[in-house]
């Protein structure tokens, strides 16, 4: 049978947003008494939710990682970051010139380490991912990927972003050409040519909008040297920023679709279609949900302040001095402020996960199909890479995924 003539098998995602929300809320509550350590367990449960609800030809993915592995990876990452923190402290005691040079060097080092951390984290996730009892794996070199990513990023910077399609295609190819499913190695047929047109069209359009829209808004007083900014200028600048955001999402949808659709596994081929308007819809839902959650929190905050300020209403008039004295002398107010800050941060993280993280996963899964699955029936299993110790460096640098 020729794989191109086989009926494509769709990928299905069966997870519900409410189920994930309940899991996240429970996790956020437990983060406080565990001083943040429960996040390793929360990450594990999230991944099991995503993996178990993603079905290929009726068989779900399976995630076998555990929280202890992530915790050990975090502890190993401390061996890298404790010296860095010491270096930061030392630089803060030096002259301003030495501090600037030192901080710049540390920033370059951190950027390089981010590439290493991204690859190692992907290696860990793949080595803990199974489908039909067969384990995935990541070969290649994390240091080699970090060097490749670092020098590509320098070229992108030197060309004002024009080299990005070459960088993106090269890194996608390196990741997938070193990926395995059992004893079968993945392939990648994509190239920079698939990204060039949407990228350069978006690049030119963004440059024109930034020059015209933002420049016009500035000239209309959107960012005045003194005084209040003009409404017209601010509106023009907001519209320009919104259009730039739409173009970024347009390009992102093209890169995701074309690069994922270039992934091969022998005769099995992946096809993914993610539309720009679907990505825009996810961000609109995220914005509405975040605004709604902040309105609810603001109402709760006003209720708390009202109870504190009850003594400031004497004779039907509000006494600001008494109100401020109540705020300064109340330990409960301090706790309320700290708790309110945590609620704002938690609400933001919750909405990001529910509407951007989950939304993106669902869009890719629902837009994906695979041909040639029958060719994978003779794949042989390989053992788990037990040497990997979690993904602590990626967690510390905030470059992890799901």
Q: Which two tokens stand for residue 344?
A: 């704002």
Please provide the distance, in angstroms rounded to a whole number, between the alpha carbons at the two ends of the chain. Answer: 37
Please, where are the H alpha helices in 309-397? 320-328, 331-351, 358-366, 392-396
Q: What is the mean pLDDT of residues 80-108?
A: 75
pTM exceeding the 0.85 threshold for the entire prediction: yes
Quick count: other Cβ atoms within 10 Å of Cβ 217? 23
Q: How confident is the model at residue 1 (pLDDT cuts 50, 70, 90)?
A: very low
Give the DSSP H or E segment for 24. helix 17-31
pLDDT, tens digit, for every residue of 136-156?
999 999 999 999 999 999 999
Q: What is the mean pLDDT of residues 355-366?
A: 95
Whether the per-residue pLDDT at 99 is higher than 80: the answer is: no
More confident residue, 6 or 390: 6
pLDDT, tens digit, for every residue of 221-255?
767 666 677 778 888 888 999 999 999 999 999 99
pLDDT for res 340:
79
Q: How confident is the model at residue 395 (pLDDT cuts 50, 70, 90)?
A: low
Please, where are the H alpha helices in 210-275? 215-219, 231-260
Q: What is the mean pLDDT of residues 297-319?
A: 66
Tell me how far apart the alpha carbons of residues 11 and 370 are, in angstroms, rounded to a whole number: 8
Which of 384, 397, 394 shows the shortest CA–CA distance to 63? 384
Whether the per-residue pLDDT at 313 is higher than 50: the answer is: yes
Tell me how far apart the alpha carbons of residues 88 and 355 are, in angstroms, rounded to a whole number: 36
Whether the per-residue pLDDT at 2 is higher than 60: the answer is: no
pLDDT for res 288:
96
Domain extent listing, the chain: 7-148+377-402, 275-366
Q: What is the mean pLDDT of residues 321-325?
A: 62
pLDDT for res 397:
67
């Amino acid at each position: 049978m020729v794989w191109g003539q086989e009926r494509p098998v769709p990928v299905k995602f069966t997870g519900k947003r409410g189920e994930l929300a309940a899991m996240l809320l429970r996790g956020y509550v437990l983060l406080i008494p565990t001083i943040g350590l429960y996040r390793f367990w929360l990450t594990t449960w999230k991944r099991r939710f995503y993996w178990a609800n993603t079905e290929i030809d009726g068989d779900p993915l399976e995630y076998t990682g555990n929280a202890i592995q992530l915790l050990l990876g975090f502890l190993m990452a401390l061996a890298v970051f404790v010296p860095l923190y010491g270096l930061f402290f030392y630089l803060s005691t030096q002259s301003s010139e030495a501090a600037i040079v030192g901080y710049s060097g540390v920033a370059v080092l951190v950027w390089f380490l981010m590439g290493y951390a991204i690859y190692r984290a992907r290696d860990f996730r793949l080595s803990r991912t199974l489908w039909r009892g067969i384990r995935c794996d990541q070969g290649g070199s994390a240091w080699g990927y970090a060097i490749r990513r670092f020098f590509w990023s320098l070229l992108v910077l030197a060309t004002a972003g024009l080299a990005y399609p070459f960088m993106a295609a090269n890194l996608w190819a390196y990741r997938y050409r070193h990926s395995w499913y059992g004893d079968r190695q993945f392939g990648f047929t994509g190239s920079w040519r698939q990204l060039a047109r949407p990228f350069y069209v978006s690049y030119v359009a963004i440059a024109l909008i930034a020059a015209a829209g933002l420049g016009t808004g500035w000239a209309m007083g959107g960012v005045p040297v003194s005084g209040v900014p003009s409404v017209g200028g601010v509106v023009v600048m907001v519209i320009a920023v919104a259009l730039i955001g739409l173009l970024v999402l347009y390009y992102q949808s093209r890169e995701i679709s074309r690069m994922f659709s270039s992934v091969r596994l022998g005769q099995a081929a992946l096809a993914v279609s993610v539309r720009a308007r679907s990505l825009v819809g996810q961000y609109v839902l995220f914005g509405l949900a975040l605004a709604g959650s902040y309105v609810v929190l603001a109402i709760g905050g006003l209720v708390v302040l009202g109870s504190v300020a009850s003594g400031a209403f004497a004779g039907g008039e509000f006494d600001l001095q008494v109100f401020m004295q109540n705020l300064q002398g109340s330990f409960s107010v301090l706790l309320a402020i700290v708790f309110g800050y945590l609620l704002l941060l938690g609400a933001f993280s919750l909405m990001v996960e529910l509407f951007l993280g989950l939304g993106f996963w669902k869009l890719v899964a629902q837009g994906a199909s695979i041909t040639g699955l029958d060719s994978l029936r003779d794949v042989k299993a390989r053992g788990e890479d037990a040497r990997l110790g979690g993904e602590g460096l990626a967690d510390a640098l905030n470059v992890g995924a799901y």
